[in-house]
Amino acid sequence: MSNVVEKTLLIDDSEIDLFIHRRFLELCNFSKELIAYKSAESALDWLRNLEGESPPNIIFLDLNMPVVDGFTFLNMFSELPERVTQHSRVVVLTSSNSVTDREQVLLHKNVVKMITKPMKIQDLQDLVQDKQN
């Protein structure tokens, strides 16, 4: 896989998960630029203040986080400037197998996929395939 996207944002409260997913994406050459945040709140602040900087193409988002969880992030994301919401697609990356969680996140127009942790090669291949269709 060779630089599928320009910029990727990882949001996860677990340093271990962030490290593993960042390293996995780097080894797969998924993105030219990888940005990581340990909190959804920090990621939202960064997205709100993208002065002239291009927004991420893909956002990998954990659901279960303290303070601002993935569901709240998705609601707040939809209120961001259109130049961000039109450009960024969200992939929910979670340990949850809940059907209710899946139904709830897929209601958000920017969510293109829900992946169960840990991320696998097949998940990225499916994401690339979905992008091409």
Q: What is the pLDDT of residue 127?
A: 85
Instruction: Compute the average pLDDT of residues 96-116.
Output: 91
Question: Tens digits of per-residue pLDDT, 20-61?
Answer: 999 999 999 999 999 999 999 999 999 999 988 999 999 999
10 Å Cβ neighbour count for 47?
A: 21
Confidence of residue 2 (pLDDT cuts 50, 70, 90): low
Domains of the chain: 5-132 (3.40.50.2300)
Taking 70 as the threshold, does the pLDDT of residue 132 lie above it? no
Q: What is the pLDDT of residue 3?
A: 66
CA angle 36, 41, 44 (to 5 degrees): 75
| Residues 57 and 89: beta-carbon distance below 8 Å | yes
